[in-house]
Amino acid sequence: MTSLLPADIVTATEDVWLSILNLAPRPLEDAETAPDGPTVAGVVYITGASTGAVTVQVSAPMADRVAARMFRLTDRKPSREEQVDAIGELTNMVGGSLKGLMDGPSHLSLPVVIDGHGYQVRIPRGRAVNTVPFECEGQRFVVTVVSVAESPAD
């Protein structure tokens, strides 16, 4: 996968979060990456000249904030479906921004969203090449770019 620098991930994430949610995430320098407690994670695959994936994993409270802002909910807590839709859409936008920085033609999959507690997102034949933790409104989230090795010849 074309090398994407942490600065690329920061810029793409900040641009999407500011333009869509009017939220200003702040990259963190520490080694602890995953948010605590229950989380919601979106994954999009990139295929073409480069093969890989982009994941966005947020805390459950942040998924609530994202969905409430995205769908302009002021009178109720977002439903699980609204959380899934919001995180999927954010992942799609961040992944699309990063895809645009890669060499050659490529395609972006539809997002897949996972939620729960204590899980790890693993991409078959994938290796995380850059992970950037963020903080926004007191909640942590992480954006990861994964390089996926070509499948072995049959």
- Residue 127 exposed, middle or buried by CB count within 10 Å (0-12, 13-18, 19+): exposed
Task: Give per-residue pLDDT as tens, 81-126.
Answer: 999 999 999 999 999 999 998 888 899 999 999 998 888 888 888 8
Asked if residue 66 is part of any domain, the answer here is yes
Task: Give per-residue pLDDT as tens, 5-40.
Answer: 899 999 999 999 999 999 999 999 875 667 888 999
Asked if residue 153 is part of any domain, the answer here is no
Asked if residue 1 is part of any domain, the answer here is no
Per-residue b/e over 52-88, b at no fewer than 16 CB within 10 Å? Answer: bbbbbbbbbebbbbbbbbbeeeeeeebeeebbbbbbb
pLDDT value at residue 151: 66
Asked if residue 154 is part of any domain, the answer here is no
Note down the domain range covering 13. 6-148
Asked if residue 51 is part of any domain, the answer here is yes
Tell me if the pTM is above 0.75.
yes
Domains in the chain, number = 1
CATH number of residue 14's parent domain = 3.40.1550.10
The neighbouring-strand residues paired with 128 are 146
